[in-house]
Structure 1
């Protein structure tokens, strides 16, 4: 993330916690993220990993895209390619481009994702229970585990489901996997 976006995200995370009147200890208990990490995130000393962002979103009951859209400067109808926010977790091998970010009054969003070979990302639960997802693979092979069931999704294939629990995304091939993720709020 860019420096300005990191700062706005840090401020928004602090606002969300304070609006609930939660201490750092309480948020740590609810999210499973250490108190020291939460403190560093809120001071913009640290950018969240994919896993940490997922844990915080679950604690706050919103999707990662919703949270990231809340810190964007505006939500225009036309989103030129150069203005589509890109978020990277280099340690996890994950790049996320918000092609059509969330906008007030709209329930869907479109995200382009890329996982490098060997990337394996697990989410403990749905940030928003019943979240509808459609995953269309452009290049490579994506292994997705939803509710304990493993799906192998190859280029051109589309997997669609409602997410209620844990999920896992793994690049199953020797090449990166690039896919579109359509998210529809319940």
Structure 2
């Protein structure tokens, strides 16, 4: 059985591999991603876990969605993804939990992610991981304030926002309870 520590270790190794594949130094990556050199070094050695914001910045630099990056550290996912086998990633600092309900898979053009933000959580992303990527965000429970390319959308339970992602986004839970939502990502 895979453990969170195993995932963190594989993720750290993959982040280091991606940088080396491009021939970038830690300083070059730090300048592009807006993450300090020392933090990048610690991430690549699995001394610390990345926050959602840091992982978002690195995904943008590498031109990958967060799901694609996490899928790269997983073995080939089965056709049927049982609930107890879905990869869950937590950023305790920001209050974000991400479940890969239907992970990226060769030959498929979409993935489904479940997001959970605790009350008061606020996560900005500077830029999209893949410009022009199509997303559909469906609020399952709670309230989500989602800003896409400077336009704020207040989503209630049952609402669905559809868009192509070209610029910054911000996921904010104004509270008073956690918000749970599904994201359908159409892969390029």
TM-score range, shorter chain: over 0.9
Are 1:113 and 2:115 matched, yes or no?
Answer: yes
Calculate the TM-score normalised by the size of structure 2.
0.97
- TM-superposition CA deviations, 1:127-181 (whole Å, max 9, x none): 1000111011111010100111110110011111000000001112311100101
Q: 2:131 aligns with which of 116, 129, 132?
A: 129
Give the SS at the match of 1:65. Answer: helix
CA separation in 2, counterparts of 1:32 and 1:173? 29
Query: Where does residue 13 of structure 2 map in the other structure?
Result: 11
CA separation in 2, counterparts of 1:32 and 1:107? 30
Give the SS at the match of 1:112. Answer: strand
Q: 1:25 aligns with which of 16, 21, 27?
A: 27
CA separation in 2, counterparts of 1:93 and 1:23? 31
Query: Where does residue 187 of structure 2 map in the other structure?
Result: 185
CA separation in 2, counterparts of 1:105 and 1:25? 36
Query: Where does residue 170 of structure 1 map in the other structure?
Result: 172
CA separation in 1, counterparts of 2:30 and 2:7? 23
Query: Where does residue 83 of structure 2 map in the other structure?
Result: 81
Calculate the TM-score normalised by the size of structure 1.
0.98
Provide runs of 4+ in structure 1 moved above 4 Å: none
CA separation in 1, counterparts of 2:42 and 2:91? 17
Structure 1 unmatched ranges of 5 or more: none
Deviation of 1:74 (Å): 2.3
Give the SS at the match of 1:117. Answer: coil
Give the SS at the match of 2:71. Answer: helix
Aligned residues: 186
